[in-house]
Amino acid sequence: MATRKEARHRAVLQVSALAVVTTIIVAVIVLGVTWFNNRPAPHPSEVAITVSNGEESIEIFPYQVCELGTECGEGGEIPVIDAAPGDTLTIELDESIYDHDWSLLSIYDNPGANDQQLHGPHDATSAEVPVSAAPPAGSEEEPQLVVVEVNSAMLGTDDEGNETVYATVWSVATQSPTGR
């Protein structure tokens, strides 16, 4: 009789331990998912894009970040990447940019070749920009890329901790590489 009682007691302890372990695992999963879904997004000034041309690749932080509806002051220094005629720049975006509307502005040395692309959420995670554009009507020279800008309205927090929308601009200039 004592063995049956001990066996039943062990079974109850095992089921209880299994229930406690299962409860702990479920609680950890629920807390982890809740934290992941509610973690604060990075401030727009901390979000970088990657611009590459062949083997060269640079990480670029925003040139300008200002609250939407306010006048933006002068931006920071624009990074430069080597780019020869015929090259193509590849721009890789962070998910916090491509998960909503964003635009890409390509500025050439001939304004007739300038181009703007508008993208919706998850339309594209990257973009390619030719360094040489097709000559505009009435011109024979291929315009060369001068500057590329990525523009996005992003959520961030202001100095008082309030959520606000920021106009954010990433910019990169091109220069002819030496020795080509």
For 136-146, what is each residue's pLDDT tens digit?
777 788 999 99
**Structural domain of 140:** 44-175
Beta-bridge partner residues of 58:
51
Shared domain check, 117 and 103: yes
The confidence score (pLDDT) of residue 163 equals: 87
What letters, b where the CB count within 10 A reaches 16 and e where it falls short, cover 121-134? eeeeeebebbbbbe
Shared domain check, 50 and 15: no
3 state DSSP class of 149? strand
The confidence score (pLDDT) of residue 180 equals: 45
Shared domain check, 149 and 132: yes
Shared domain check, 123 and 68: yes
Q: Is residue 180 part of a domain?
A: no
- Summarize pLDDT for 114-152 with one digit per residue, the tens: 999 999 999 999 999 999 998 877 778 899 999 999 999
Q: Does the predicted model carry a pTM greater than 0.85?
A: no
3 state DSSP class of 38? helix
Q: Count of domains in the chain?
A: 2
Shared domain check, 74 and 17: no
Per cent of the chain over pLDDT 70 is 94
Shared domain check, 70 and 34: no
Would you say residue 162 has pLDDT above 60? yes
What is the rounded distance in angstroms from the CA atom of residue 126 to the CA atom of residue 150? 11
Shared domain check, 32 and 119: no
Shared domain check, 89 and 9: no
Q: Is residue 86 part of a domain?
A: yes
The confidence score (pLDDT) of residue 44 equals: 92
**Does the CA dihedral 133-138-139-143 come out positive or negative?**
negative
